[in-house]
Amino acid sequence: MFADLIPVISSNFVNPDTIFANNEISLQDIEIYGFDYDYTLAFYSSHLHTLIFNIARDILIEEHRYPEGLREYEYIPDFVIRGLHYDVQKALLMKIDAFHYIQLGTVYRGLHPVTDKEVIAMYEGSHVPLEIMSDFYGKSSHGHTMKQFMDIFSLPEMTLLCCVNDYFMKHNIDYEPVHLYKDVKEAIGDVHVKGIMYRAVEADIEKYICYGEQTQAVLRKLAENGKKMFLITNSPFDFVDRGMKYIVGRDWRDLFDVVIVQADKPGFFNDRRKPFRRLTDQGVLLWDRIHRLEKGQIYKQGNLYEFLRLTGWRGSSVLYFGDHIYSDLADLTLKHGWRTGAIIPELRKEIKIMNTEESRTKDIFNSQFGSLFRTYHNPTYFSRRLSRFADIYMASLSCLLRYDLQHTFFPRRTPLQHESPLWPEQASAGAANTPLKAEAAGVTSSE
């Protein structure tokens, strides 16, 4: 019954709906599947980024007394990519590779690039020291001056930062970059915390939510194969309920063994102090002590340690999917031994570009910052984190429809640098005396 819902692929090289493995994992060992909600079960249209940008921009003007002229700025689709770093004190947005080097040509102040010469002068080279990089969760705190933007909701935030910086520079307004960053961060937060975004999406759900049919097919496939499922999300219940009824149907709660809302991830995975509270269908919080997590009930807050105690779901039999590498996946894989799956919607577009001859140029991916996954020669900082915290990654949950639940995913075996007998540097004229040069010269590669 699921065959008709499998995405149609036309690709010459890499299938965009493949599930890619960083670490070997067999679905035969997985008995429990967990999910985030936003950008995991629910996929949003590009209209949502415009909505968030416009609301946050207006909050800056109306509540933080920013210049009225900022209303002239509109959301710029595809101006930024996920995984970028923002230097809070210098007001610079940039792409950094896995070894903490800035990719020159991808540093922006406002809406305009900064010359390589100026970047090198500011940082005394292109390397960013560890002590000013973002902390474990990508935040600029505890002395760190870099903020890494890792989730998809951060795209309008980065764009708004660039637009406000651009306005101040264009009008020769003296400003403190740290204050600007904090004000934009607060305005973006208010869009979520005050429920403005949630109400807008609920009022016009067909405009903002997509991919519903394939998500439903994945969940029903897992249920029909006897798998247990749970949901842990930071979003409020009314918002999730409205979306899941649209995506899956009114019976969506019957598919899940445990549903937890407003979990406050990543704190949920580390803070033992918050107990679970049961939430009624009318949104009333109950005060009774939670002795077990029951199917069909809704729970708020809580913590992972209590979750593990009440469910007994531990270790490698659990596979959890989320889009935020830090907030959703890092603690689960490092501290609790769960298997993890990263949802990377950008992956499908990048693969389709890779399958074209034009993929060798940065501009074809993104005119300002290039590929999400690679700098000129190295993986991006985002890629390195992805490979560390996600056992598997894919463009969307619908990719699971291509595999049976006995499938084993293997990472591609690539040789370490010292395991390969010949590499480009050895083949150059200047490497004539390199060890193994003579032996390698007579080797014909069959790979």
* One domain, residues 64 and 192: yes
If asked whether residues 160 and 25 sit together in one domain, one would say no
Burial 310-339 (b: 16+ CB within 10 A, else e): bbebeeeebbbbbbbbbbbbbbbbeebebb
Spatial distance between the Cα atoms of 257 and 8, rounded to a whole number of angstroms: 32
Is 58 found in the same domain as 189?
yes
pTM of the full structure: 0.89
pLDDT at residue number 135: 62
Do residue 247 and residue 145 come from a single domain?
A: no
Residue 425: what pLDDT?
A: 54
Query: Within a domain: residue 25?
Result: yes
Look at residue 284 and tell me if it is in a domain: no
CATH number, residue 381? 3.40.50.1000
Q: What token pair was written down for 158?
A: 């980065």
Flag whether 388 is in a domain: yes
Residue 189 and residue 212 in one domain: no
Written as six digits, the tokens of 178 are: 């740290």
pLDDT at residue 8, rounded to an integer: 41
In a domain, 298, yes or no: no
In this structure, the answer to whether residues 39 and 162 fall within a common structural domain is no
pLDDT of amino acid 430 = 54
pLDDT score, position 443: 44
Domain of residue 105: give its range.
47-201
Q: Is residue 322 assigned to a domain?
A: yes
Same domain assignment for residues 101 and 178: yes
The pLDDT, as a whole number, for residue 445 is 40
Separation between Cα atoms, residue 181 and residue 161, nearest integer Å: 7
Same domain, 53 and 194: yes
Predicted pLDDT of residue 314:
84
Question: What CA–CA distance (Å, rounded) separates 90 from 106?
Answer: 15
The reply, when asked if residue 36 is annotated as ligand binding, is yes
Instruction: Give residue 145's pLDDT.
Output: 85
User: What is the structure's pLDDT at 424?
Assistant: 56
pLDDT at residue 440 in the model: 44
Residue 17, marked binder: no
pLDDT at 356: 79
User: Which of 201, 225, 260 corresponds to the end of one domain?
Assistant: 201
The confidence score (pLDDT) of residue 365 equals: 75
For tokens 């991830």, the residue is 265
Q: Is residue 286 part of a domain?
A: no
pLDDT of residue 133: 81
Residue 432 is assigned to a structural domain of this protein:
yes
What are the per-10-residue average pLDDT scores of the chain (447 residues)?
42 84 97 98 96 98 98 96 95 96 97 98 94 65 76 96 98 96 97 94 95 90 98 97 95 97 94 94 90 96 96 93 94 93 94 74 74 91 94 97 97 81 56 50 43
Residues 427 and 340 in one domain: no
Strands (E), 280-345: 298-301, 318-322, 339-343
Split into its structural domains, the chain has a count of 3
The b/e string for 261-270 (b: 16+ C-beta within 10 A; e otherwise) is bbbebbbbbe
Catalogue the active-site residues: 36, 38
- Residue 380's SS3 state is strand
Residue 402 belongs to a domain: yes
pLDDT of 432 reads: 52
Are both 56 and 197 inside the same structural domain?
yes
Residue that is written with structure tokens 């992956």 in the block: 347
User: Is the same domain home to 156 and 106?
Assistant: yes
- Where does residue 54 rank: exposed (0-12), middle (13-18), buried (19+ CB within 10 A)? middle
CA distances from 15 to 12, 61, 215, 357 (A): 8, 45, 19, 16
Q: Is 391 annotated as a binding residue?
A: no
Q: Return the exposure string of 191-226: e unless at least 16 CB atoms fall within 10 Å of the residue's CB, then b.
A: bbeeebbbebbbeebeebbbbbebbbbbbebbeeee
Instruction: Note whether 53 and 37 are same-domain residues.
Output: no
